[in-house]
Structure 1
């Protein structure tokens, strides 16, 4: 039971720490072109900046809960905050690329340590009657902070200065550390767990997940299995990851407990959160790439599209909490409603064309925002109701590690779509222009209705840059068609989740009822 408000202050500190960690990821990614330009880092070397960050994040998510159980939750949170603050603040001061890469990897590792601790803190200090509000706090990391980051990125890159992409961590981490230090109770440590620490599992996590995330990040650039480097990484991950699962099944105190996946609701929660992170790119990455590539918008012109989703979470999450707290309402209904909203938003957005601007996205972003709140909160309730408190650290790793990995897989999927579907669409557009060359190139119609065709009736260029403009129109149409395909792909992933929803999870009650029965 909560006897005073101090643990709530501590929880607030962990929420601020999680916000800082998410900003390091999302704001850093959005501003990375400006950062690379300021530091003189090229495109291919710049891929390592994100690759090392994401590898560190996934590894940290796997290790954090086990460490917190040994050294106490409060000390682990303070360590993660300090590591985040120091690594992030030093990044703009890095003297060379190698130092920048190392600090970025440490920053990602600190991010990975922080996010699972928010779930652990909420589940530990909030009683069953307000447990749903704790889950809503964790849901912010998947729905609110990623969409808010576009506005923060626009502020730093277009108004203040790129250095503040990293300096923003200083005040946020300071506030978080003070709240945690004051509000979170200090539990006795359990150093005896270190004698049974899973060193083989830790090594396999670092090697296996590090190889897998690096392969996914660099595969497209290196032409996948035409590269010996990618083949080596694939072989390492194919060997290390099965060994990791076998090792965790045999350990007395594992990093995570695969046996928990035998519980239907928990397995559904892990699977759905993994897929949801990919589907949620439909409200952030996909529209921002369209507006940047097709309309040529800067972050300051894009941020309102994502900020709408973030702002609506402050309305929708409390609403969904109240709905899920009603005994006769089945969480599966709310989850299904959210998935249908996501599918509808993706299909609606897939109808875009080259004339779309921010205004055309607002309706579908609102539908997506409601769907995200319904999906995340209901799946978290179903998953956590299947656990007892002693299983919290093992479950937290099992939830957050796939979540971190799905961010890498989602980016990889969009890259593959841009490459293969983009090539297909470009080829078909050029073939169509060649087949109907008079109507599209020389007559008064043209491929792009906003511009005159590039050639006159006798085959001469209409102007000096006519063919260059026509090539740009082809490229714009290709980009539009790729984005439409992206939305349909993400709608397909959401449909897959809906199919699993129909067969896998079981009925569960609100925590104030389900947990008190236990």
Structure 2
């Protein structure tokens, strides 16, 4: 085989590895109620089950490029495959909560290691003529893989068994191992980098980012700053993160090279990707939460709305790789068009009501699917065209670590809206219900399932009538909160629209832009 084509198999192995670790997170998150029942977890340990994964993932995203270059990409990929497999397959058999949480942390660490490896390997092995294909492969980790998880969660939990949410990694890891073994170049480890190791930066990453992610994930449950634990985490984050920035700026061999942010296109990419990941909750968790909370759907019944987005990516990503390779195409215009699609999807979703079913979501999900691929592909093109292959590891850490943080911020944002706006809507609806209580016997029922709750004499129509009325009020509150979340996400999309108009410069396809350099 041609030596130039062999590394492409290695890249394919890293893509499969990224798919395996990504599905580890997404499928287990969507299957969490079934996993809690299967493992016998109560609510509080289950929150740590999700929180520790996110914390470990962010740490892995920051450290992966440095470790990959130091130990050689080939060896480090084998290590990540082994870690992802062993940390997953034993979870269904563990009865001890501490051991379970330790394995979940290792699972998150493997997920964090995998994503930056994909960007690092793609920038290294892809020639300018085919680099856009590699960018499409990387874009799939943000625009395709998360949307496959709904279908797999439905398959494992409703048809096969919740244990396969963890066993699914085995065949994917085996494929990744074979492809990486065959295709990845054999490089000598660069142990001399240990002489310049950024140990202060690593320590600040572990302490600062773990404190921040835990604060965001556990803050709502612990009542925020009324909890001493949350106050300590906030103090550690406030001290560690500025020190980390200062340390990286002056270190000889840093984990993050903040000087790259002086390049406008790279700065645009470093900001856009995490904000896009944050906005993607509008097409993943919000529709799924609406169907499960309002209609009582199981994953088997609701997976179609996310699978639609995944299928669109299989069409859009190759098309965009072809389109953006045309010299006359300005990727800023394509990105602007994609953001408009996202904005339309958010505004359309904000009209959600308690009677919405799957059919009402399909149109808006199509806008999310088309717009998301346009935004991510253009962002990657603009960011990577301003980089040399030697700068790839620094860029991978700087882009992917905030991306991991954005997933945690998304959880915090939804909890914040649910607490503040949910309380407001619940209070107002309850107040209205109290003021209109004497009219309830003659009013039409807010649901076709239940009759009006009161008789003309003010007594409950049935023993369960008042409970049903409270159930309907909670449904109305949930629908209003979901509408608010869509509008908040729309605000972030508007921010990205202004950003793409002001920050990035005109760039060309890699075969042209890199040839000029």
Partner residue, 1:314: 314
Matches within 5 A, 1:257-276: 257-276=257-276
Partner residue, 1:427: 427
How far, CA to CA, are the matches of 1:297 and 1:448 in structure 2?
Answer: 17
Partner residue, 1:130: 130
How many residue pairs align between the two structures? 516
Matches within 5 A, 1:196-235: 196-235=196-235
Partner residue, 2:178: 178
Deviations 1:323-350 (A, max 9, x none): 2111111110011000000000110111
How far, CA to CA, are the matches of 1:448 and 1:478 in structure 2?
Answer: 14
How far, CA to CA, are the matches of 2:179 and 2:194 in structure 1?
Answer: 28
Partner residue, 1:413: 413
Q: Secondary structure of the residue that 2:246 maps to in structure 1?
A: helix
CA RMSD of aligned residues (A): 1.1
Partner residue, 2:508: 509
Deviations 1:143-179 (A, max 9, x none): 1000001111111111111111111111111110111
Give the CA deviation at 1:95.
Answer: 3.5
Confirm or deny: 8 A CA contact 2:438 2:458 kept in the other structure.
no
Partner residue, 2:88: 88
Partner residue, 1:381: 381
TM-score normalised by structure 2 residue count: 0.98
Q: Secondary structure of the residue that 2:190 maps to in structure 1?
A: coil
Give the CA deviation at 1:191.
Answer: 1.3
How far, CA to CA, are the matches of 1:3 and 1:326 in structure 2?
Answer: 28
Q: Secondary structure of the residue that 1:442 maps to in structure 2?
A: coil
Partner residue, 1:13: 13
Matches within 5 A, 1:425-464: 425-439=425-439, 441-448=440-447, 451-464=450-463
Give the CA deviation at 1:436.
Answer: 2.5
Structure 2 residue runs without a partner (length 5+): none
How far, CA to CA, are the matches of 2:412 and 2:160 in structure 1?
Answer: 31
Deviations 1:233-283 (A, max 9, x none): 000010001111111111111011011111111111011101000111111
Give the CA deviation at 1:3.
Answer: 4.0
Matches within 5 A, 1:154-169: 154-169=154-169
How far, CA to CA, are the matches of 1:23 and 1:324 in structure 2?
Answer: 28
Structure 1 residue runs without a partner (length 5+): none
Give the CA deviation at 1:91.
Answer: 1.1
Give the CA deviation at 1:223.
Answer: 0.6
How far, CA to CA, are the matches of 1:92 and 1:182 in structure 2?
Answer: 32
Partner residue, 2:352: 352
Are residue 297 (structure 1) and residue 304 (structure 2) matched? no
Q: Secondary structure of the residue that 2:501 maps to in structure 1?
A: helix
Confirm or deny: 8 A CA contact 2:39 2:95 kept in the other structure.
no
How far, CA to CA, are the matches of 1:432 and 1:98 in structure 2?
Answer: 47
How far, CA to CA, are the matches of 2:189 and 2:170 in structure 1?
Answer: 28
Give the CA deviation at 1:438.
Answer: 3.5
How far, CA to CA, are the matches of 2:372 and 2:507 in structure 1?
Answer: 20
Answer with 316-325 or 468-477: which moved more. 316-325
Give the CA deviation at 1:74.
Answer: 1.1
Partner residue, 1:59: 59
Give the CA deviation at 1:188.
Answer: 2.3
Give the CA deviation at 1:5.
Answer: 2.9
How far, CA to CA, are the matches of 2:514 and 2:94 in structure 1?
Answer: 49
Q: Secondary structure of the residue that 1:307 maps to in structure 2?
A: helix
Give the CA deviation at 1:432.
Answer: 1.3
Partner residue, 1:400: 400
Confirm or deny: 8 A CA contact 1:341 1:367 kept in the other structure.
yes
How far, CA to CA, are the matches of 1:343 and 1:9 in structure 2?
Answer: 38
How far, CA to CA, are the matches of 1:154 and 1:12 in structure 2?
Answer: 27
Partner residue, 1:33: 33
Partner residue, 2:114: 114
How far, CA to CA, are the matches of 1:53 and 1:469 in structure 2?
Answer: 38
How far, CA to CA, are the matches of 2:465 and 2:379 in structure 1?
Answer: 54
How far, CA to CA, are the matches of 2:127 and 2:106 in structure 1?
Answer: 34
Partner residue, 1:44: 44
How far, CA to CA, are the matches of 1:354 and 1:216 in structure 2?
Answer: 29
How far, CA to CA, are the matches of 2:206 and 2:59 in structure 1?
Answer: 6
Are residue 471 (structure 1) and residue 489 (structure 2) matched? no
How far, CA to CA, are the matches of 2:274 and 2:4 in structure 1?
Answer: 36
Q: Secondary structure of the residue that 2:359 maps to in structure 1?
A: helix
Confirm or deny: 8 A CA contact 1:444 1:452 kept in the other structure.
no
How far, CA to CA, are the matches of 1:226 and 1:290 in structure 2?
Answer: 30
How far, CA to CA, are the matches of 2:228 and 2:426 in structure 1?
Answer: 29
Answer with 35-44 or 133-142: which moved more. 35-44
Partner residue, 2:152: 152
Q: Secondary structure of the residue that 2:453 maps to in structure 1?
A: coil
How far, CA to CA, are the matches of 2:392 and 2:458 in structure 1?
Answer: 72
Give the CA deviation at 1:449.
Answer: 5.8
Partner residue, 1:22: 22
Give the CA deviation at 1:104.
Answer: 0.2
How far, CA to CA, are the matches of 1:237 and 1:31 in structure 2?
Answer: 31
Give the CA deviation at 1:72.
Answer: 1.1
How far, CA to CA, are the matches of 1:194 and 1:133 in structure 2?
Answer: 34
Confirm or deny: 8 A CA contact 2:61 2:397 kept in the other structure.
yes
